[in-house]
């Protein structure tokens, strides 16, 4: 930790402040880093791994968002639904059998 925040929080602060500075080309926009740093200090005081967990969540969730989340409404590569058994061990739907063509022996 550095200045009350983690290195991940420092990187987020630096990234946001530098992008804002490059967009506006005004040196006064560098003062934006102070309130952002204060917010990061509050978040890190609540949970020191807040930004680490945020980065891990982004690494696992964003690829699914761009890949197939909009199509399947899940971060899975298969449209199959999970049909877990209830308390009695029975499933809601019967298992469908797939007929095999050819019927030849192996």
Q: Is the pLDDT of residue 48 over 70?
A: yes
64: CB partners within 8 A, 6+ apart: 74, 75
pTM above 0.85, yes or no: no
Average pLDDT over residues 60-86: 65
Q: Is the pLDDT of residue 77 over 80?
A: no
Q: How would you write 4-54 as a 3-class SS string?
A: CECHHHHHHHHHHHHHHHHHHCCHHHHHHHHHHHHHHHHHHHHCCCHHHHH
Q: How confident is the model at residue 19, as a pLDDT?
A: 92
How much is the mean pLDDT over the chain? 76
Q: How far apart are CA 11 and CA 40, in angstroms?
A: 11
């Amino acid at each position: 930790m550095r200045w009350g925040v983690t290195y991940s929080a420092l990187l987020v602060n630096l990234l946001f402040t530098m992008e804002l500075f490059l967009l506006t080309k005004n040196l006064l926009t560098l003062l934006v880093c102070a309130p952002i740093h204060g917010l990061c200090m509050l978040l890190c005081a609540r949970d020191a791994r807040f930004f680490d967990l945020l980065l891990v969540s982004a690494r696992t969730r964003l690829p699914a968002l761009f890949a197939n989340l909009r199509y399947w409404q899940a971060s899975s590569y298969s449209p199959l639904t999970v049909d877990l058994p209830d308390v009695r061990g029975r499933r809601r739907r019967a298992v469908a059998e797939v007929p095999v063509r050819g019927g030849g022996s192996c």
